[in-house]
Homo-oligomer: A and B are copies of this chain.
Amino acid sequence: MKTMGLQHLYLINPRYFPDPQASAMAAGADDVLQNAVICNSIDEALRGVVFTVAMTARLRDISIAVKTPREAMPEVLQQAATQPVALLFGTEMSGLTNEEMGKAQLGVNIPSNPEFSSLNIAAAVQVMAYELAVASQQFAPVVAPEIVPATHERLEGLYAHLEKTLFEIGFFTTQNPARLMQRLRRLYSRTRLEDEEINILRGMLTVTTEYNARLKERYNQEHKDV
């Protein structure tokens, strides 16, 4: 709940409360648990609420309309903008009864493997809270580290440098230069190179040429007489 920005927990007839094990597992979110409101009935918990969404693992024999979390959350948010709303979850063992479901305006079912569809309550709450947080856009979506692609002329500079270097080190003797350069263009255009990456690549090319030049020079010195 807390990771997804939810604070208000209502517990209806909890078997144990406070529960040392629950407190231990809450870790940094123990404030949510400490501030939980303990109720004797669903009606008491829903007092003042104008829109209740009930979790269900069943799709049949449900008295109310059932949607997926993704479909339901925009409606929940719209209602929540002005008045209290609630997400209602049943027990770990048996969920909500039909009578309890009838207290909600909308049912929500998490699409799942029909051969093993029983999400535990922690998992179901996580999915619901996550979908609510995503729908609310309250946590700024991740901004992917911006790729600032290099300009055309910088790219062409790289390709020219690359071709020249490959020529100098004698790579093209057994290869078709034009075809190979096409392959290399394809590779690098797919990555959308940034300026700094081009600097790195050209640095590598420069060092390669220098290394090659030194080799040549040494060779020439050792074979001065040739």
Chain A: residues with CB nearer than 8 A to chain B?
A: 2-5, 28-29, 59, 62, 65-68, 70, 109-114, 116-119, 122-123, 126-127, 130, 133-134, 139-145, 147
Contacts and interface: CB of A to CB of B under 8 A. Distances in A.
Closest 10 CB pairs of A and B: A111-B139, A3-B112, A2-B116, A123-B126, A5-B113, A109-B142, A65-B144, A3-B119, A127-B130, A126-B126
| Copies of this protein chain in the complex | 2
B3 A142 contact: no
Nearest to A140: B111
A4 B134 contact: no
Contact of A122 (B66, B117, B122, B144): B122
A144 B126 CA distance: 23
28 contacts: A3-B112, A3-B113, A3-B119, A3-B123, A28-B116, A28-B118, A59-B143, A62-B145, A65-B147, A66-B144, A67-B142, A67-B144, A68-B134, A68-B141, A70-B134, A109-B142, A111-B133, A111-B134, A111-B140, A111-B141, A112-B133, A113-B133, A113-B139, A119-B126, A122-B123, A123-B123, A123-B126, A127-B127
